[in-house]
Chains A and B, each alone.
Chain A
């Protein structure tokens, strides 16, 4: 079980010597309890205490990195079962599969698409993460050739999916330096595969359907020198995946079974229903998800769901309050009041930039709430508007005193006029109608 800070503290030297980088042993214990510090940082512990505390203070799900460089995918290091309990940290890597039985052209097309497609939402770049190469031919040379075609791991992280150790040997000779994920060590071949993973320092997936066996297999591979593991419980159905993944995560968080403290691997291909399987993996604890090449709509929806689920529930994605000039505004440009919720900002920005109309976006600090939510929750008020006008010296930017407010803030219009002395114009509710509104109504 996880240990509380005070229980950890009992095992520390209590000298407050600060060598760990924290002012007191208790402060260090508190960090350890939340998985935010490494036990190794305290030099004054005997090995037994270190092992004891190490076991209970490491993150319940091991951090594993697939791939190298800019697009590498860190997964694991999660602390909770439900995102509202804190947050989920490491979104699952979605790896698009190609087969070494496909024509070269097809492989090349998929790889380029994964490499070059970026979905931009609320200021973040969302991407599919890598390529899963399947050794359907069974031939080591073909497998290695397709791995090379997929960039060899140097540009996109790879998953290598095969049965026979000779195929892995061949593929790792090409891609071994780029931390590809090996799939998979089974009861039959684990010794050879763990040795390969150790030799190349690669992450390794262990695969077997029953959880005690899966934990035992993970333990054996870790002992054999392959500590960076993923778990593939070989789900037979989607509901089965959700049930099993939940059990694994629960055992990890509760630290009831060290062999289950690893990220989960999900191959959506045998389950057929790609969209449902992607959603299930995103929602329920997958670290790596293998999927067939995705249609545009599926890709957008899946990446959006992943972004939603991995957003910190305590902090909406926000922009810094202030004045944002758009399309080179001059002193007669309109001042458009809005909130500092990223989604609102980027939505408006899209419409305004496309319109070419010069304006100033005037972003008040509503603590990341949308217009309607901020109005309903009392976060967007006339006082805030008046103070922000002063703080950002908005009056110095323009030669007029007209403030366009969002349609949803209409109930505040009179109060804002009274509090600021500016004349308020109530704009449309939908941001899409803002350019049209400005064309028609804005004259100074």
Chain B
């Protein structure tokens, strides 16, 4: 029932990033997916990636991280470089939070930031574009184009706004994050919509939406397990690797109200328990924001 060995029943492999030989400039590229069982159920080494999130406008970023990274918060490229070299992230997720400001129209900055961050890093890159239907098309076009050939992972497609992301991914050869609100049927529907638009299965990564620990995480955990089980029993429209980004984690009460000397520890604990559990439930990529969570996850995954 669970670990079927049917050829069609493995999680699909998705390639992220492109080396020079592959037409990009990354020093490494990654393949995620390919599993035929539950996480940790076999001797095959799991393919787990830890992404550190950075952003291009720290006003929309958790205070605890801004305090920790200091000046880096004003330089997305330096921040991204430190994510790889200092904090040991497998890859960076660049959030274009500048698009959240009222009346945003600095589209050329989007391309410039993308280029700078690509130049500052050696590993594959995830880009989180705008969250505003009116901006999507231009934002995704600009960052997609700036990263042409690099096989970015672009996000986020949702049921009512997926065309712009998908179009940019198709035009410039990137993969797409497909997010649905904690529901296996909605996840499947969105994957079908994306495929109907021409996005191949091996360029889709499912984001089942991760509620913060203590604030809905249990639903996310179970929906991830269900998606993984459905995939292993042969549902090709759910057989994509999963990404987990619990974006509300650092604004929960426990973190917000922690005494100053304990802020970092609380932020890291909250992110760590969520991300590690998401991996146990089937996530291939976990995204975190506090730099110290990265190393802790990498160590734990090696034990």
Write the residues of chain A forming the contact surface with B, with a CB cutoff of 8 angstroms.
82-84, 121, 237-239, 242-243, 246, 271-273, 275-277, 279-280, 283-284, 295-298, 300-302, 304-305, 307-309, 311, 313, 343, 347, 350, 370, 376
What chain A residues lie within 8 Å of B269 (beta carbons)? Answer: 275, 297-298, 300-301
Say which residue of A277, A279, A296 sits within 8 Å of B262 (CB atoms).
A296
What 5 A-B pairs come out closest when comparing CB atoms? A276-B300, A297-B269, A308-B218, A301-B269, A242-B40
Q: Tell whether B221 is near chain A: CB-to-CB under 8 Å.
A: yes
Query: Nearest-CB distance from A327 to chain B (Å)?
Result: 20
Q: What residue in chain A is nearest B256 (Cβ atoms)?
A: A432
Contact B214 A307 (CB under 8 A): yes
Complex contacts, B299 vs chain A, CB 8 Å:
273
Q: Is the CB of B215 within 8 A of A343?
A: yes
Q: Do B280 and A304 have beta carbons less than 8 Å apart?
A: no
Interface residues of B (CB under 8 A from A): 38-42, 46, 181, 213-219, 221-223, 225-226, 229, 253-254, 258, 262, 265-266, 268-270, 272-273, 276-277, 280-281, 296, 299-300, 303
Complex CA gap A284/B40 in Å reads 11
B300 touches A273 (CB 8 A): yes
Question: Would you call A82 and B300 a contact (CB within 8 A)?
Answer: no
In the complex, which of the residues B38, B265, B281, B300 contacts A238, with contact meaning CB atoms closer than 8 Å? B300
Q: A275-B300, A279-B277, A305-B213 are in contact. Are A83 and B42 (CB under 8 A)?
A: no
The answer to whether B42 touches A301, judged by C-beta atoms less than 8 angstroms apart, is: no
* A307–B221 CA distance with the chains assembled, in angstroms: 13
A237, A284, A304, A305: the one contacting B303 at CB < 8 Å is: A237
CB of B276 within 8 A of CB of A308, answer: no
Residue of B258, B265, B273, B296 contacting most chain A CB atoms (<10 Å): B273
Nearest CB in chain B to that of A313: its residue: B222
Task: Give the residues in chain B near A308, CB-CB below 8 Å.
Answer: 213-214, 217-218, 221
Contact status of A301 and B225, CB under 8 A, knowing A239-B40, A243-B41: no
Measured in the bound complex, the distance between the Cα atoms of B303 and A272 in whole Å is 9
With A273-B300, A313-B222 given, is the CB distance from A297 to B213 under 8 Å?
Answer: no
Residues of A within 8 A of B215 (CB): 343
Mind listing 5 A-B residue pairs with CB under 8 Å?
Answer: A237-B303, A283-B277, A305-B277, A308-B214, A309-B221
What chain B residues lie within 8 Å of A296 (beta carbons)?
262, 265-266
Nearest CB in chain B to that of A278: its residue: B273
CB within 8 Å for A246 and B265 given contacts A308-B218, A347-B253: no
* Chain B residues, Cβ within 8 Å of A82: 222, 225-226, 229
> Of B218, B254, B266, B273, which is within 8 A of A302 by CB?
B273
A304-B214, A308-B213, A308-B214 known; A275-B265 Cβ under 8 A: no
Point out the residues of chain A lying under 8 angstroms from B266, CB to CB: 296-297, 300
Cβ of A307: which chain B residues have Cβ within 8 Å of it?
A: 214
Task: Name B265's closest neighbour in chain A (CB-CB).
Answer: A297
Which A residues touch B219, using CB under 8 A?
313
Q: Complex: how many Å from CA A223 to CA B217?
A: 42
Residue of A nearest to B46 (CB): A239
A243 to B42, CA, bound (A): 7
Which residue of A is nearest B266, CB measured? A297
Q: Is the CB of A242 within 8 A of B39?
A: yes
Distance (Å) between the CB of A2 and the closest chain B CB? 14
Judging by beta carbons under 8 Å apart, are B276 and A276 in contact? yes
B265: A residues at CB distance < 8 A: 295-297
Tell me how far the C-beta of A268 lies from the nearest C-beta in chain B, rounded to whole angstroms.
11
Q: Can you add 14 more A-B contacts, CB < 8 Å, to A239-B40, A275-B276, A301-B269?
A: A82-B226, A238-B40, A238-B303, A242-B41, A275-B300, A276-B276, A280-B276, A283-B221, A300-B269, A301-B213, A301-B272, A301-B273, A309-B221, A347-B253
CB distance from B278 to the nearest CB of A (A): 10
B174 to chain A, nearest CB (A): 29
In the complex, A42→B215 CA distance in Å? Answer: 45
A304 and B213 contact, Cβ closer than 8 Å, known pairs A272-B303, A273-B300, A313-B218: yes
Which A residues lie within 8 Å of B253 (CB)? 347, 350
What residues of B have a CB within 8 angstroms of the CB of A246 in the complex? 38, 41
Q: What chain B residues lie within 8 Å of A238 (beta carbons)?
A: 40, 300, 303
Task: Enumerate chain A residues within 8 angstroms of B223, measured Cβ to Cβ.
Answer: 84
A191 → chain B closest CB, angstroms: 35
B276 close to A279 (CB less than 8 A): yes
CB distance from B75 to the nearest CB of A (A): 29
Report the bound CA distance from A261 to B148 in whole Å: 55
A84-B226 contact in complex given A242-B40, A273-B299, A301-B269, C-beta closer than 8 Å? yes
Q: How far is the CA of A271 from the CA of B299 in the complex (A)?
A: 12
> Taking CB as reference atom, which chain A residue is nearest B259?
A296
Cα–Cα, bound, A277→B265 (Å): 17
Closest to B216 in A: A370
Cβ-defined partner of A121 (8 Å) among B214, B218, B229, B258: B214
Instruction: Please determine whether B42 and A84 come into contact, CB atoms closer than 8 angstroms.
Output: no
Q: A301 contacts B218, CB within 8 Å?
A: no
A242 to B219, CA, bound (A): 21
What separation, in Å, do the CA atoms of A343 and B42 have in the docked complex? 37
Contact of B40 among A243, A271, A311, A350 (CB under 8 A): A243
Q: Closest approach, in angstroms, between the C-beta of B30 and any C-beta of chain A?
A: 20
Q: Provide the bound-state CA to CA distance between A83 and B219, in Å.
A: 10
Distance (whole angstroms) from the CB of B88 to the closest CB of chain A = 16
Is B222 in contact with A84, judged by CB distance below 8 angstroms? Answer: yes
Task: Kindly list chain A residues whose C-beta atoms are within 8 Å of the C-beta of B214.
Answer: 121, 304, 307-308, 343
